[in-house]
Amino acid sequence: MATRAEPGKLGRLERPALAGVLVREIVNFSSYWRSSTFSSTVEPTIYLLAFGFGFGSLVSTIGGYSYVEFVGTGTVATAVLFSSAFPAMFGTFVKYQFQRTYDAILAAPVDTEELVTAEALWIATRASVYGCVPMFVAMVFGLDPSWGMLTVPLIAWVSGFGWACFGIMIAGFASSIENFNYVVSAVLTPLFLVAGTFFPIEGLPEWAQVLAKFNPLYHCVELVRHAVFGFEGWVDVASVGALVLFGLVMWRIAIHAMERKLID
Amino acid sequence: MSPELAIRLRGVVKHYGPIRAVDGLDLDVPLGTCVGLLGPNGAGKSTTMRLLTAQAIADEGELAVLGHKLPDDSKAARALCGVSPQLDNLDVTLTVEQNLLVFAYLYRVPRSERREAVERSLELARLGDRRDMKVDKLSGGMRRRLLIARALVHQPRLILLDEPTVGLDPQVRQELWALIDALRSQGTTILMSTHYIEEAQRLADTVLIMSHGKGVASGPPAELVTEHAGHEVLEVYGPPERLLEVQAEAAEAGLRTRRTGTSISILGVDGDGYPVEGERRPANLEDVFVLLTGEEID
């Protein structure tokens, strides 16, 4: 039998392993991009239009912004959440439980850490594109373009990475897909409402305002708004820090949760 | 460890809660051979397969695959192995060709060889004319062939086949046997688990009979049969009382028996002269299996 050079112990987070998982996602995306793009863009657009015009007729300005501008920038965070946390939760569970895709991938030279990382990178990238949709829609309704807008995909990417890891973590800990209802109702819905998307959190009671500071969605909303209307210095640095921290913590917990699930 | 062994397991134990799924298993798979793990469902075959890809981590014992110690070096070992799992995990929304292409990436086939690797696997699975078909449109036999071809896309030196023909009709099973036999004759090392006696008997150079997580006997199928069940078996049919008598007489004569549904089989009745009427047939692995484990297969 021909002998060839034996590879030694392989490292962690190797590029070929990440690339393998990403290629699988990209090839798969070619078969479902229409439906995914539809839901990820239409949902936030509906929110934008409903709130923008519904409330907009009652409230003309908030904090110096027209209400469409306020909601148009705020729903970027909503679009990011919808196109990262939700696909991550459901996609991970389906690939683990029903399609057993992860069994096939982990039999190849890919570790759980690489699998989770590649999945999150992919979802974050998609979310950074879908996240910009509400901003474009708002531009149609009068939001003025600005240079700061160019940083919005990056902000969306960092948030999307954190939410993707959050979704993977939930799928890793959930024993059935019905458990997601608890997470959606008790975690995502409150976070989504108390993020300053549709109304400024300054109107909320003191304790809710403090809690909002721990809401990654709030930091995403603030950063996007400041990117569009002008950055405000240290507040924004703190928000970037909060999003990066959120992403890192979720990333490690997601890997841990999936290792528990996938390796007996 | 000896370099001629593709797989070496010593004293491997794996618990799931109070259940010892694998219970002190020793296993040698020499390079270039086909070894069959034979046992009923629940004997620990699939757990053994998962241990070999570090998708399950052993509680005790030593495991080495192609010279790599598990679980520490399992990634390097996995790069050199192909795996065809018991439960089909093809990407059903992708085409045949896309499934193979994705695995060419996952198994790190160099860019310049990827195209060729996919073509080779398509040919192996005889699915060249269905390359653009979605997997969920394929028949059960085609999916199985694709699953095995997918495991071979990087031309591994060792392939793990977990129940390669489970749930397929006899004709499709024969096709797959031909495929596996061709691999073996090309020098690919194969570890195959099965609960089909005939499959083990036809394909395996060596069989390890497993029961309750342990290996109870191992050797070339023909030798196992001769050693444990002799050459010929006398199957005696009759009413239950008669069968009990036959059983008692055989025990007196120092022969072993097993119940086979409506008959009783007297093992090791080599040559003429046994004073009971019945049908003679060659002894087989199933006799050995039942004798050694007291369990029926299937």
Note whether B160 and B41 are same-domain residues: yes
Residue of A nearest to B21 (CA): A264
CATH number, domain with residue B12:
3.40.50.300
Give domain status of residue B150, yes or no. yes
Q: Tell me phi and psi for residue B253, to 5 degrees.
A: -80, 0
**Rounded to an integer, what distance in angstroms lies between the CA atom of residue A254 and that of residue A248?**
10
Give domain status of residue B291, yes or no. no
In the predicted model, what is the mean pLDDT of residues B227-234?
85
Give domain status of residue B168, yes or no. yes
pLDDT(A202) > 90: no
pLDDT tens digits, residue range B116-132? 999 999 998 889 999 99
Contacting B residues, span 92-121, partner chain A, CB-CB under 8 Å: 92-94, 98, 101-103, 105-108
pLDDT value for A68:
84
The CA-atom distances, in angstroms, between A209 and each of A74, A183, A245 are: 17, 22, 20
Q: Round the average pLDDT of chain A to a whole number and report it.
A: 89
Number of domains comprising chain B:
2
Domain boundaries, chain A: 85-129+145-262
Q: Round the average pLDDT of chain B to a whole number and report it.
A: 89
**Rounded to an integer, what distance in angstroms lies between the CA atom of residue B100 and that of residue B81?**
16
Which chain A residues have a beta carbon less than 8 Å from that of B83? 104, 107-108
**B55 → closest Cβ in A1, A21, A264:** A264
In the predicted model, what is the mean pLDDT of residues A96-114?
93
Note whether B32 and B153 are same-domain residues: yes
pLDDT value for B228:
85
Binning pLDDT at 50, 70 and 90, where does residue A58 land?
Answer: confident
Note whether B161 and B114 are same-domain residues: yes
Give domain status of residue B293, yes or no. no
Stretch among B93-97, B117-121, B229-233 having the lowest mean pLDDT: B229-233
pLDDT value for B279:
85
Which chain A residues have a beta carbon less than 8 Å from that of B14? 264
Give domain status of residue B25, yes or no. yes
- Which ipTM score applies to this complex? 0.87
Binning pLDDT at 50, 70 and 90, where does residue A59 land?
Answer: confident
Note whether B202 and B184 are same-domain residues: yes
In the predicted model, what is the mean pLDDT of residues B265-286?
80
- State pTM to two decimals: 0.89
Binning pLDDT at 50, 70 and 90, where does residue B296 land?
Answer: low
pLDDT tens digits, residue range B135-145? 999 998 899 99
DSSP A161-229: HHHHHHHHHHHHH-SSGGGHHHHIIIIIHHHHHTTSSSS-GGGS-HHHHHHHTT-HHHHHHHHHHHHHH
pLDDT value for B1:
46
Peptide bond into B71 cis (omega under 30): yes
Note whether B160 and B198 are same-domain residues: yes
CA distance B120 to chain A (A): 19
Note whether B240 and B138 are same-domain residues: no
Q: Is the minimum CB–CB distance between B83 and chain A shorter than 8 Å?
A: yes
DSSP type of residue A7: P
- Of B225, B255, B274, at which residue does a domain stop? B225
Nearest by Cα to B163 from B270, B284, B50, B13: B50
Q: Does the beta-carbon distance from A99 to B92 stay under 8 Å?
A: yes
Q: Does the beta-carbon distance from A7 to B94 stay under 8 Å?
A: no
Note whether B125 and B250 are same-domain residues: no
Tally of CB atoms within 10 A around B139: 10
Residue A19: both structure tokens together: 């690339």
pLDDT value for B170:
87
Mutate which: A3, A4, A9, A115, vs B, most B CBs within 10 A: A9
Q: Is the minimum CB–CB distance between B30 and chain A shorter than 8 Å?
A: no
Give domain status of residue B73, yes or no. yes
Residue A134: both structure tokens together: 């509400």
CB A195 within 8 A of CB A82: no
Give domain status of residue B289, yes or no. no
pLDDT tens digits, residue range B281-291? 888 888 888 88
CATH number, domain with residue B238:
3.30.70
Domain that holds residue B275: 231-282
Give domain status of residue B288, yes or no. no
CA distance B265 to chain A (A): 41
pLDDT value for A173:
93
pLDDT value for B287:
86
B270 or B143: which leads in pLDDT: B143
